[in-house]
Structure 1
């Protein structure tokens, strides 16, 4: 007579999958913040040199708003002890 070995997928594999999902979300959020800052700088320089609002000025402004939004959300987060 054999014993039941438990669930089909060991529970630690579910935990590993969850951890990978959470970590990848953090990495994507970090990359999005760096990309927004870089895009704001590049398009801001293009707008400064060309003086044309479309498309460089528009993208620079939108990117600056995104950087500000991300900065505010990081600063308003409660700190974990």
Structure 2
């Protein structure tokens, strides 16, 4: 049972993005969403650290952010912040998905 450092790093990245959105643009929505999703991602990383098969919260958090920020990116075509968050969230979803496939026991 190892610590999900990638998950904790992603949670920190999401939280920092929300704080940065508040500092640069004065967006309280960015602050609240960033902190809420960052906290959810951190709890998901903690749960995955306790049981590597318990990735539902992490997957739902990263998947939701990938879709929401992906739609924002498609409407604005601005890489920062929407494209960057879409990329990070998509990579997190892929990491979780392929990690689950790798940890699956073979039925032979």
TM-score (norm 2): 0.48
- Any stretches of 5+ residues in structure 1 without a counterpart? 1-21
- Give the whole-Å Cα distance in 2 for the aligned partners of 1:71 and 1:29: 9
1:36 and 2:36 correspond: no
Matched residue, 1:9:
none
Unaligned runs of 5+ in 2: 1-46
Alignment RMSD:
2.7
Q: What is the aligned partner in structure 2 of residue 60 from structure 1?
A: 86
Aligned 1:1-81 pairs, distance under 5 A: 25-26=50-51, 29-79=55-105
Larger Rg: 1
Structure with the largest fraction of helix: 2
User: 3-state DSSP class of the match of 1:76?
Assistant: helix
How many Å apart are 1:78 and its aligned residue? 3.5
CA pair 77-28 structure 1, distance change in 2 beyond 3 A: closer
The normalised TM-score by structure 1 is 0.62
Give 1:80 deviation, angstroms: 7.2
